Amino acid sequence: MKYLLLVCTDGEPFDADPAELDPEPWISEVESRGIRLTGDRLRPPSDATTVRVRDGETLITDGPFVETKEFIGGFDILDCADLDEAIEVASKHPIAKYGMLELRPFWT
């Protein structure tokens, strides 16, 4: 089953050794297991563009639509046997100790 792993943070500096936050060991592990299909960091919310259509008019807003402290800092697409495996993989991500990881199954 495929899952979208959203890597979320509130943007505050983490009280951690930078080596502890390095995602490369996690990426290497899950890629070697054939679980991580792709992933990447995202630019900050200030670089976002929000698009809505209301009454046939396209409305564009710079930045996020909603002001929030937490934002999506990156994503990974995982191919796991089940939710239990996806949780196990997410729990090992370095941001799990400092931010939040949201797992969403693909609709299929």
Rounded to two decimals, the pTM is: 0.85
Q: Is 5 domain-assigned?
A: no
Residue 58: its pLDDT value, please? 96
Task: Render each residue's pLDDT in the chain as its tens digit; 108 residues.
Answer: 999 999 998 776 677 888 888 999 999 999 999 999 999 999 988 888 888 899 999 999 887 656 667 788 899 999 999 999 999 999 999 999 988 999 999 998
CA angle 90, 3, 98 (to 5 degrees): 30
Range of the domain at 22: 18-105
- Other CB atoms within a 10 A radius of the CB of residue 29 amount to 13
CATH of residue 56: 3.30.70.1060
Split into its structural domains, the chain has a count of 1
Contact between 90 and 96 (Cβ < 8 Å)? yes
Residue 45: its pLDDT value, please? 84
Q: Is 86 domain-assigned?
A: yes
